[in-house]
């Protein structure tokens, strides 16, 4: 009986230091949606361009999680470009201190983004964009060339290092690429799930699904890809 209790306690302690993906954001509740032309469709777990999201008007879907909520974090989502773009366009997912179009946010202050860009025929490249005091730096590109292919993204920050990893076929399946960038350590309030600039000339064809912020708050989790060692349980061998 004592051995059974010890095993149970060991399993309980092990579970307390593990965490799992799977808590998806519900975009239809608690989020702020700005979309003058009404081209960004909002569904329970998806944000879809209904025809195209125009950069002339812009659009964004954002949520406040409270001051300083996002420290170290890890996010996942998947998405694809569903049509050709007539010009070079850009869409962003990331963190900021305010709710606005990304081109207004990045003119001053700090923010941290993933940017995906099209070049007229396919989803072309993705990279990390770090903004410190209004000055932007960028990681190298990950080439993602296939139209209507679902790409699986993981975006994380640990200290002053941001990491973007992309797969096809599912998370941790076929690696497309991974990049790192030195970034700000600023804590942020706002999660921008989908942000298209205002005042541009392109049309964005991008779909985002199943945003998972399970590794969101530094206070709640250690670095999400690291499993801490189990604590010893009295009456068991190490």
More confident residue, 21 or 5: 21
Residue 3 lies inside a defined structural domain of this protein:
no
pTM over 0.95: no
* CA distance readout (Å), 205 to 20, 54, 154: 31, 9, 20
* CA distance readout (Å), 161 to 13, 132, 211, 219, 228: 30, 14, 21, 17, 20
Per-residue pLDDT at 4 exceeds 80: no
Residue 1 has a pLDDT of 52
Q: Provide the β-strand partners of residue 114.
A: 93, 128
Residue 135 lies inside a defined structural domain of this protein:
yes
More confident residue, 86 or 227: 86
More confident residue, 226 or 34: 34
Residue 98 lies inside a defined structural domain of this protein:
yes
Residue 134 has a pLDDT of 97
Per-residue pLDDT at 55 exceeds 50: yes
Residue 101 lies inside a defined structural domain of this protein:
yes
Per-residue pLDDT at 13 exceeds 50: no
Number of domains the chain is built from: 1
Residue 193 lies inside a defined structural domain of this protein:
yes
Residue 113 lies inside a defined structural domain of this protein:
yes
- Identify whether the C-beta of residue 98 lies closer than 8 Å to the C-beta of residue 224: no
Structural domain harbouring 200: 23-215
pLDDT 10s digits, 92-127: 999 999 999 999 999 999 999 999 988 766 668 899
First to last CA, the chain: 19
Q: For the chain, give the mean pLDDT.
A: 84
Most confident of 43-47, 50-54, 114-118: 43-47
CB burial of 49-73 (b: ≥16 within 10 Å; e: otherwise) equals: beebbbbebbbbbbbebeeebbbbb
Residue 80 lies inside a defined structural domain of this protein:
yes
- Identify whether the C-beta of residue 127 lies closer than 8 Å to the C-beta of residue 138: yes
More confident residue, 46 or 3: 46
Q: Could you tell me the pLDDT band of residue 36, with boundaries at 50, 70 and 90?
A: very high
Per-residue pLDDT at 19 exceeds 60: no
Residue 121 has a pLDDT of 65
Query: Residue 170 maps to which CATH number?
Result: 2.60.120.560
Which long-range contacts (C-beta less than 8 Å, at least 24 apart) are formed by 26-34? 27/61, 27/193, 27/211, 30/63, 31/61, 31/62, 31/63, 31/193, 32/61, 32/62, 32/63, 32/64, 32/99, 33/60, 33/61, 34/58, 34/59, 34/60, 34/61, 34/62, 34/99
Per-residue pLDDT at 6 exceeds 90: no
pLDDT 10s digits, 132-189: 999 999 999 999 888 889 999 999 999 999 999 999 999 999 999 999 999 999 999 9
Residue 235 lies inside a defined structural domain of this protein:
no
List phi, psi (to 5°) of 141.
-85, 150
């Amino acid at each position: 009986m004592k051995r059974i209790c010890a095993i149970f306690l060991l399993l309980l302690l092990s579970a307390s230091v593990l965490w799992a993906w799977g808590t998806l954001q519900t975009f239809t509740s608690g989020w702020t949606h700005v979309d003058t032309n009404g081209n960004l469709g909002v569904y329970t777990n998806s944000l879809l361009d209904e025809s195209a999201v125009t950069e002339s008007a812009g659009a964004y879907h954002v949520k406040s999680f409270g001051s300083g909520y996002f420290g170290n974090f890890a996010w996942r989502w998947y998405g694809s470009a569903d049509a050709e773009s007539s010009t070079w366009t850009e869409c962003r997912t990331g963190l900021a201190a305010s709710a606005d179009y990304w081109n207004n946010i990045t003119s001053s202050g700090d923010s941290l983004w993933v940017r995906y860009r099209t070049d007229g025929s396919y989803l072309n490249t993705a990279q990390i964009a770090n903004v410190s005091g209004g000055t932007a730096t960028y990681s190298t590109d990950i080439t993602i060339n296939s139209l209507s292919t679902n790409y699986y993204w993981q975006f994380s920050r640990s200290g002053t290092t941001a990491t973007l990893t992309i797969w096809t076929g599912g998370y941790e399946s076929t690696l497309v690429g991974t990049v790192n960038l030195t970034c700000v350590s600023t804590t942020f309030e706002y999660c921008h799930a989908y942000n298209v600039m205002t005042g541009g000339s392109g049309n964005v064809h991008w779909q985002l699904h199943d945003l998972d912020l399970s590794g969101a708050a530094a206070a709640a989790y250690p670095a999400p890809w690291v499993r801490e060692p189990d604590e010893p349980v009295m009456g068991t061998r190490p």
